């Protein structure tokens, strides 16, 4: 048996998505910038995709810019807004994805901004009171906080964070890579200036994503070159990727309630089975609380044991694909920056299970069985 439980890393392509992508890899091969019929056919496919995504998110097509994925969308929002809007200060947290963290740290290192980190508690929750005092001291900052944390699944209250940013005239970039396609985003309600998406996190193709830019916010391109994306992102478009992205988001929204129920069921099942079969098991961040974390992510903390180092390897041998991550015990180890910030005991092993619509109860049961067996063996040896 095999179990792919690493859907926060990437997801399997939906066959319905592949079907709409294939013609753009074969007969519809024009360059969308060409004015002949081959080019025009592909151009209209791209614009249909843009319109569809905008409609789903309650935005206008001109507010959607296609990119090579989440990282480029995050980089564009951050680097272009700092450069164009003359912002001198940014606020983020230490548990952001590296697409955000490393970008902001680079801007700080090169003297383009001052960077402040909002406090988080040991559960990984953002201290919104501290965010407010940082904003009081530095109005008109760039605030970059993620919606759903990819390692521990913590969810940010976008309404509260958005209100605070609005009150302080801050520019709010929210990394929505882990929630796009899994939660509904209504851009008429959200107070974010930028949100992002990466198709491969919701059963679309890899290497394509998008950036939403609030109208009225005029920013320079991040990738310079041709006039594609209305001069905002040079380079011949990833045409099959863009068409696949739109289809994947359409399916995600069409089937969201059914899939959410199914996936939540898997997460609850795994939580209960782990608690029943491994003594001392815990959950990192808010991952064990359904309403406060991504329903797709369960970050498990296992009691210290001799098998910790080999855990992921042994699970892989058993056909189970998951992600790991450790808090570091010595200065030389790097470990997971998120788990380190949550001050997790470095002797405990951590496994991130992340679920998707194709997972089954059998896969969940199998993964728990293998994990429990590994721990059981360990106890007998000792
Ligand atoms: C929260 C978050 N932001 C950004 C990214 C980067 O997305 P991509 O791999 O599409 O560049 C990821 C992907 O793991 C992510 O989980």
pLDDT tens, 173-201?
999 999 999 999 999 999 999 999 999 99
**Probe residue for ligand 1, chosen from 7, 10, 71, 124 as the CB with the greatest number of ligand atoms within 8 Å:** 71
Helix/strand/coil percentages in the chain, nearest 5? 45, 15, 40
Q: Could you give the CA distance from residue 196 to residue 238 in angstroms, rounded to a whole number? A: 17
Q: Which residues pair with 198 in a beta bridge?
A: 209
pLDDT value at position 378?
61
Percent of the chain with pLDDT over 70: 96
Task: Looking at the CA of residue 9, tell me the nearest atom of ligand 1.
Answer: 14
Which band of pLDDT confidence, cut at 50, 70 and 90, is reported for residue 308? confident
CA atoms in the 13 A half-sphere facing the CB of 63: 22
Q: How far is the CA of 40 from the centre of ligand 1 (A)?
A: 32
pLDDT value at position 99?
97
Task: Looking at the CA of residue 150, tell me the nearest atom of ligand 1.
Answer: 16
54-72 pLDDT, tens per residue? 999 999 999 999 999 999 9
**Probe residue for ligand 1, chosen from 7, 11, 69, 285 as the CB with the greatest number of ligand atoms within 8 Å:** 69
Q: Over 90: is that where the pLDDT of 326 sits?
A: no
Q: Could you give the CA distance from residue 176 to residue 202 in angstroms, rounded to a whole number? A: 12
Which residue puts its alpha carbon closest to atom 7 of ligand 1? 70
CA distances from 291 to 52, 107, 110, 295 (A): 29, 35, 40, 8
Ramachandran assignment for 258, one of left (phi > 0), alpha (psi -120 to 50 degrees), beta (any other): alpha
Q: Could you give the CA distance from residue 382 to residue 378 in angstroms, rounded to a whole number? A: 6
Buried b (16+ CB within 10 A) or exposed e, 300-335: bbbbebeebeebbeebeebebbbbbbbbeeeeeeeb
Which band of pLDDT confidence, cut at 50, 70 and 90, is reported for residue 133? very high
Task: Looking at the CA of residue 200, tell me the nearest atom of ligand 1.
Answer: 10
**Probe residue for ligand 1, chosen from 7, 73, 98, 99 as the CB with the greatest number of ligand atoms within 8 Å:** 99
Which band of pLDDT confidence, cut at 50, 70 and 90, is reported for residue 382? very low
CA distances from 72 to 173, 198, 366 (A): 13, 10, 37
> What angle, 0 to 180 degrees and rounded to 10, lies between the N-to-C axes of helices 239-254 and 37-56?
30
Q: Could you give the CA distance from residue 146 to residue 80 in angstroms, rounded to a whole number? A: 18
Residues 72-82, mean pLDDT to the nearest whole number: 97
Q: How far is the CA of 374 from the centre of ligand 1 (A)?
A: 31
Q: How far is the CA of 196 from the centre of ligand 1 (A)?
A: 9
pLDDT value at position 327?
63
How many Å is the maximal CA-CA distance in the chain?
73
Q: How far is the CA of 3 from the centre of ligand 1 (A)?
A: 22
- More confidently predicted of 231 and 381: 231
pLDDT value at position 328?
60
Q: Provide the mean pLDDT of the chain.
A: 95
Q: Could you give the CA distance from residue 269 to residue 288 in angstroms, rounded to a whole number? A: 12
Q: Over 80: is that where the pLDDT of 338 sits?
A: yes
Q: Over 80: is that where the pLDDT of 380 sits?
A: no
Who lines ligand 1 at CB under 6 A? 69-71, 74, 97, 99, 146, 150, 175, 177-178, 198, 209
pLDDT value at position 67?
98
**Entry field: residues in the chain:** 382
pLDDT value at position 177?
98
Task: Looking at the CA of residue 96, tell me the nearest atom of ligand 1.
Answer: 1
pLDDT value at position 309?
79
Which band of pLDDT confidence, cut at 50, 70 and 90, is reported for residue 335? confident
- More confidently predicted of 306 and 251: 251
Q: What is the distance, to the nearest Å, from the Cα of residue 102 to the centroid of all Cα atoms in its chain?
A: 15
Does the annotation count 174 as an active-site position? no
79-112 pLDDT, tens per residue? 999 999 999 999 999 999 999 999 999 999 999 9
Q: Are 20 and 247 in contact (CB under 8 A)?
A: yes
Which band of pLDDT confidence, cut at 50, 70 and 90, is reported for residue 306? confident
Residues 365-372, mean pLDDT to the nearest whole number: 97
Task: Looking at the CA of residue 199, tell me the nearest atom of ligand 1.
Answer: 10
Mode of pairing for the β-strands spanning 349-354 and 297-302: antiparallel
Residues 288-311, mean pLDDT to the nearest whole number: 93
Q: Are 19 and 250 in contact (CB under 8 A)?
A: no
Q: Which residues pair with 140 in a beta bridge?
A: none
Q: Over 80: is that where the pLDDT of 46 sits?
A: yes
Residues 279-292, mean pLDDT to the nearest whole number: 96
Q: How far is the CA of 139 from the centre of ligand 1 (A)?
A: 28
Active-site pick, 328, 335, 346, 369: 328
Percent of the chain with pLDDT over 90: 90
């Amino acid at each position: 048996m095999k179990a792919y439980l690493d859907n926060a890393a990437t997801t399997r392509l939906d066959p319905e998505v592949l079907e709409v992508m294939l013609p753009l890899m074969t007969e519809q091969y024009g360059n969308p910038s060409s004015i002949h019929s081959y080019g025009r056919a592909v151009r209209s496919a791209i614009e249909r995709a843009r319109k569809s995504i905008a409609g789903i998110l309650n935005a206008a097509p001109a507010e959607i810019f296609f990119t090579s994925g989440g990282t480029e969308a995050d980089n564009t929002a951050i680097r272009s807004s700092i450069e164009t809007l003359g912002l001198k200060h940014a606020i983020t947290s230490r548990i952001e994805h590296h697409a955000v963290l490393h970008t902001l740290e680079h801007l700080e290192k090169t003297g383009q901004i001052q960077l402040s980190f909002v406090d988080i508690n040991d559960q990984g929750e953002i201290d919104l009171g501290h965010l407010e005092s940082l904003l009081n001291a530095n109005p008109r900052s760039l605030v970059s906080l993620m919606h759903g944390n990819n390692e521990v699944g913590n969810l940010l209250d976008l309404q509260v964070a958005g209100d605070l940013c609005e009150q302080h005239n801050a520019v709010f970039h929210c990394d929505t890579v882990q929630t796009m396609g899994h939660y509904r985003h209504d851009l008429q309600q959200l107070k974010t200036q930028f949100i992002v998406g990466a198709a491969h996190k919701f059963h679309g193709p890899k290497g394509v994503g998008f950036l939403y830019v609030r109208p009225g916010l005029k920013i320079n391109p991040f990738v310079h070159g041709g006039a594609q994306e209305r001069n905002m992102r040079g380079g011949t478009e990833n045409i099959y990727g863009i068409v696949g992205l739109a289809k994947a988001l359409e399916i995600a929204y069409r089937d969201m309630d059914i899939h959410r129920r199914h996936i939540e069921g898997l997460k609850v099942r795994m939580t209960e089975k782990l608690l029943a079969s491994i003594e001392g098991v815990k959950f990192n961040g808010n991952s064990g609380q359904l309403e406060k974390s991504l329903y797709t992510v369960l970050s498990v903390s296992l009691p210290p044991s001799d098998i910790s180092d080999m855990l992921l390897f042994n699970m892989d041998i058993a056909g189970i694909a998951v992600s790991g991550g450790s808090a570091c015990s010595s200065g030389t180890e790097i470990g997971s920056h998120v788990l380190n910030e949550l001050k997790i005991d470095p002797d405990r092993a951590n496994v991130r299970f992340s679920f998707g619509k194709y997972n089954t109860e059998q896969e969940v049961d199998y993964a728990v069985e293998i994990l429990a067996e590994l721990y059981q063996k360990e106890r007998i040896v000792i």
